[in-house]
Structures are given as C-alpha cells and as structure tokens.
Structure 1
C-alpha cells in the first residue's frame, strides 16, 4: 500500500464521499455542555447543506474512513474491482482532523462513511471508536452523522446510536432485484432489518422514565435517513416513490435522499452509459415533499407512464390534470384542498386559515402570506379575484414550465 500524507488522504477520501447525498441533519440538538468544556455546537437547526434561521450555512467534515472495500457493487466507484487511488484514515487521524477543522471554524460537525474493510463488524467498530473518542476524550458536542453498516452486529449499531446524532443506512436501489443484480454481496432484507433495529431503539430511547425514575439512554436523536440511486436501473419514479412511502411508514425515517446516477470512472458493464436528467432527481424531491407534508398519495403523482413530468413540478402537474377541482375559494376551502393549490406552501395555508378566522382575506393579501401568485392565480377565487378563462386556457400547462435556471420547490 502506498504511504500517503494526511493531506493526500484527505483529498482522496473527501472526494470519494461526494457520492453520498444523505448528509443533512435537520433535527440535531446541542448536547449537554454544562461544564463549559464541550467543543462544537450543532445549533439544533441542521448541519451540512442546511441553513440556520439567520441564513448561515452550517457545514460538516464529510469524508470516508477508507475507500478500500471488499464489496463489488457495480454502481460504486469504490468497489473492489475499481482501479482508483486508495487511502485509509486511522481512527486517530479522523478524530484529529475533526477537532482541528472545528477549531479553525471550518466545520461544526462530522459526516463519516466508509468502504467495508476486512468485515462489516471491523469497519463499524472503527467508526464507533471515532465517535466515542470525539465525545469522551475530546468533549466534542457538535453534530455527528454515521453511515452504519447493515451487516454489522446489533450491539455495534446500538453503540453507534449512543454517540451519533443521526444514523443512515442506504437502501441504495429502488428494488430488491436491482440490488441483487448490481450489489450481490448486499441484502435488502438485512438493510431493512437494520433500519427496524434503529427505529426500535429510537422509540425505546424516547420513552418516559421507568418506575424507578431512570430515563433510557439517548439514541440517534436526529433520526435515521437513507439514500436511493436514481437512474442506475430501469425503475420508474412511481416505483421509487412507493419504496420511499413504505420506508417512511415502516421505519420512521427522517429523510429519503435521491441521488441521480452519475457514470463513474471504469464503469461496470451493467450500468447505463448516460446519467438521467438532473431534473429527475429534483422532481423526486418535490414529489417526496408532497408525500410528507401535503397529504398526497403515490397513486396521485406521476403520469400513466409512472414518470414525473420534467417540465413542471408534480403539484402543478396534478392541478393541471385535475383542473375540474378548481378554482378553490380561499375563504371556504378546507386545509386539504388549499394544500393542493400550486404556489401555496404549508406556511401560507396555515397563515391563510388563521387570517380568515379574523376577517376577509383578499387576493392582494396572499403574497404577503408567502403565496407565489404567478402559480396560484389560475386556481383560486378570492374577494376581488376570479380566474375567468385562465383555467380553460389550452396552454395552461406551458404557462408553468420553468426557465432552465428556475428550480423552486413549488
């Protein structure tokens, strides 16, 4: 093995970590630091690709412990058959990097993943040692997100949840068949079993005190997440969203992340030569939001082909396809229908319902409530506003097709 400097390892292993999207941290909370000796702060508002209420971007150190791997997953650049530069951090090097980066004000937390070295248990044990050392020896109180190894022993996953704020276990492929074909060493059953174990331990940790007054130990308080690769197989968007809905319902996941397949150096023959449109990944995130916060069902999202419309967002696509249910009267409509109005977010609906209890809400008031009126105006009626022929326009769908630079959530 080539002997590398710490900076060379960092360059290789931070670049290798870029393929993992599941590193946001909404829900993390500051750990107890009453003694005044703690280092770091998670701030409770999220790390990595998230923003604090004052607009600050909160970042973390995102690295692999090693890109050596004994598995041969076709879609992974770090698979054992891949001809890439390899590197490996020691436990002490990851701890030192994390603390030094924090003290230089570069980061406020750590996202740590790894290839599988020697065995799942050996790899997970080293990752747990890193988290434990940061907490116990360095008094680090910042955010820690660990990518857990599904095949690792349950006691190692239990300890990982003791030290980490969030755990993630990647489901990786939309179907069991795809996972079997492209990652033959991995088992969808084992992945789901590990997710169920994390959910069970989280629920136990949130239970009230025992009859003796002792509270259970905290366990991954920011929850668990997963990632699915989009476009590496022939699964359509409805299949992907059905899997996500099942994961949310069965395992209480905090987030499902979607990562558009990107052709990698030295690709396996089983993989497509071209990536899917990046807009497909964006539409899946929008559809996922509809499932989680807007009371939509998977059966309502996507066309007859099972694919989301790439030209307009899925909420607007549903409204255009169901224009017979519009326009909605903002003064009388139920919350469920208001949530389906394009341009109305959950906060807008909340503000609208609260405001109309106290008096008349007019069309011109909606913009101040956060509504995007260029989207909403065709689908609502309000005191002083009627859409007239907008809903019947033949080019209604085309009116909502965004410019290439526009990627608003709704």
Structure 2
C-alpha cells in the first residue's frame, strides 16, 4: 500500500479521538541549538493553547488493526473498515516532511492494539524516540498510552512525549464491561497513576528527567450508553482530583457503519457535549463542584449554560454588590469571567464601580444584569420570577438564513 493511501485511512481513523490538544506544552528551543519543530509554531489550526495560539498537529493512528472488539469503536476487531499500518519510520518521515512544509508543529499519535499491549507501546515509543534523538525534533508530541502496557514502557514514553493520554472511554465500570469487556478499568487507572507518579517525581526532584510536561488527559464518550451527565461530571471530578489530569475531553458518540445493536443508532445532541465542556471548565477553573452543577441524577439543561443554571438555582445569593462582594462570588455571575472579575477588584480599590465600567469591560450584560448591583444600578429583574427570568435568558436557536432562491 502506498504511503498516501495509508495516510488517508489512518488520519480518518484518528478523527474520533477528541483528546488532542497541546495546552501546557513548554518551549523546547532552550534545550540546545538546532532541531526541528516548535511547540509555539503557527499553521493549520488543529488545537488551541491556553493563551489562544493555534497549534497544528499531525493526528494519525499507527494502525487501525486492533485485537479488541469495543462496540463503540469504528476500528473494533469485527468492523469491516479498510485497514492499514504505518511503520514507526514512516510516521517519522511524515512528521518531518509535514513540518518542513510548514503544515504542522507537532504530532498526535494513537494506535489500535496489535500483537500485544507492550509491543504496540514499544512501537509508539520508537516513533517519539526517533523524532527526539535522531531528528532533534523540538515540536509537540502527544502519545496515546496503551493502559495494559508495562508501567516501565509508560514511564519511557513520558520522557519523550509532551503529553500522554489514557482514554477511559466510558464513565462507569459497568458500561465499560458491557461495551468493551476486553478493557480493564483497573489497568486504565493504574496507567493514569503511573503517569501521575512520574509527574510528581519531577516536581519533587528538580534534577529528575523531563516527564510529560504538558500533563495527561483522557476522553469520555457521551451517549454510547445511558449514563447521565451527573455521573459523567462526578467521574471527571474524581479523575482531576486523583490523577491530576489536565483535561477530560468529551466526545459525542458517533454511530458508525454496521454498528452493533449494543450501541445507539442515533447520536446524542451535540449541544450536550458542549454543555459538558462548559461544566468541565467550571470545575477546573472556577472552583465549582459537580454536586453544585447537578445536585442529583440527570442531565445538564440544553437551553441554558451551566453557570446560568447554577445562578438561577441560587437566586437568594443575588444580586451581588460588585463594590463589596467576594471575588469568588463575582466570578459566578453569568456573563462575568475570571479576567473581568480581577479587573473589577482592581478597579474598586481606586473608586466605586459603575454600570458603565461593565460595559467598558465587555461583560455579557444581557445575562449579567439581573445578578449584580453597582453604585448607580439596581436590577429591575430582581423581583422577576425564576421561571420568567430563565425564559428571558435562555439560549434561543438562531434563525436560519434563506438562500438566494429561498
């Protein structure tokens, strides 16, 4: 098979993995003169760093052959999709060639499991080692970790990769046993623990070798089973707390050709995935707890964002006086973010905050107005019923524009 044909198959096969991002990757240019690649390069946008830079990544599988038969996976053993396999040297050649054409700044490499977990992990590591040691590649490398692999191999991968990810795939042990019985929850969490331990070693021993400086991530598939959003968010909260994950990615289940009857025939609403990302951001950056966002079983509302939903559930706290309120509470006002909160706190040290200050700071006043007080503004909506206010503030579908011919 020609290399271009392999690339067509294995790039398409990798599109289902959402845990592809370069956030937190450090500069490597200080490690020595020369070398290929740059974490900070610009090009075709595949992912964003925390400060908004675009980072383009070659996102492929080493192979889509797989010993496992996970029911939600297009590359499962029983699937009849076209198959292909790269050699490690071919992946290195593609990565270097694409970089030299200014198409990419890094590599995201995953794989189906072939022969054994250890053999597959060795092949992934070989790609990273060749890039780093033979080609002096300084760009970003994200390797997907095979959970069942020997911990020593995972530790070796962490010395070459900027980020490692171990996909937990489904948020409950029961669902994983039903849809992917060959996967083992214990081995997944053991792999996460191995990575976390390596990271802590670097933090505690300044002279320790570099180890996954961009951290680890995971992916959960949404809508492949009956798990609700409350369970998903509580699972994510546990992963952040126990393994120091940088990100949990959520991927709406996508029905695949000739799907088995054990998985849904229709995809969940994409808005559900979007709301989970919003809720996840509140967990990671705003200090919310999963119990605050969903106090019981159920799903996040689709017509309002989780931050607004929490504010409506806790109207007794509002409206907040921006000239007196604690910064952590100001940040919980819908339409006011962390940066704006910081600027408001700095401003009120100089003078009292006025309504026009929020306009100048570009707050989303349509959502924020019912929830704050300034020296010259008190919301009329304070007496409006929660149901009416919810209806006023909910996201409304954008009207579709008619084409030229209607």
Distance 1:44 1:168 in 2: 22
| CA-based RMSD | 1.8
1:353 maps onto 2:348 in alignment: no
Is the contact between residue 60 and residue 110 of structure 1 (CA under 8 Å) also seen in structure 2?
yes
Distance 1:174 1:206 in 2: 29
Distance 2:224 2:398 in 1: 26
Q: Residues 141-200 of structure 1, C-alpha deviation per residue, up to 9 Å, x if partnerless?
A: 000000000000111101100000000000100100000000011011110011011000
Give matches, 1:314-325, under 5 Å.
Answer: 314-325=306-317
SS at match of 2:195: helix
TM-score by length of 1: 0.93
1:375 maps onto 2:367 in alignment: yes
> Which residue of structure 1 lines up, in the alignment, with residue 46 of structure 2?
48
Distance 1:145 1:27 in 2: 12
> Which residue of structure 2 lines up, in the alignment, with residue 212 of structure 1?
none
1:15 maps onto 2:12 in alignment: yes
Give the counterpart of 1:109 among 103, 106, 111. 106
Q: Residues 356-409 of structure 1, C-alpha deviation per residue, up to 9 Å, x if partnerless?
A: 111111111013334211110111110111112355145211222223359xxx
> Which residue of structure 1 lines up, in the alignment, with residue 79 of structure 2?
82
SS at match of 2:174: helix
Q: Residues 12-55 of structure 1, C-alpha deviation per residue, up to 9 Å, x if partnerless?
A: 000000000001111001114554321100029998320585x6
Give matches, 1:8-407, under 5 Å.
Answer: 8-33=5-30, 35-43=32-40, 48-50=46-48, 53=51, 57-209=54-206, 215-302=207-294, 305-393=297-385, 394-404=387-397
* Inter-CA distance 35–295: structure 2 relative to 1 (3 Å threshold): closer
Q: Where does structure 1 lack aligned partners over 5 or more consecutive residues?
A: 210-214
> Which residue of structure 1 lines up, in the alignment, with residue 404 of structure 2?
none
Deviation at 1:249, TM superposition (A): 0.2
Distance 2:9 2:383 in 1: 54
Once the two structures are overlaid, the 10-residue window that deviates more, 60-69 or 305-314, is 305-314
TM-score by length of 2: 0.94
Q: Where does structure 2 lack aligned partners over 5 or more consecutive residues?
A: 400-406
Distance 1:11 1:391 in 2: 59
* Inter-CA distance 304–5: structure 2 relative to 1 (3 Å threshold): same
Distance 2:117 2:269 in 1: 34
* Inter-CA distance 308–108: structure 2 relative to 1 (3 Å threshold): same
Distance 1:316 1:101 in 2: 44
* Inter-CA distance 9–391: structure 2 relative to 1 (3 Å threshold): farther
Once the two structures are overlaid, the 10-residue window that deviates more, 331-340 or 248-257, is 331-340
Deviation at 1:321, TM superposition (A): 2.1
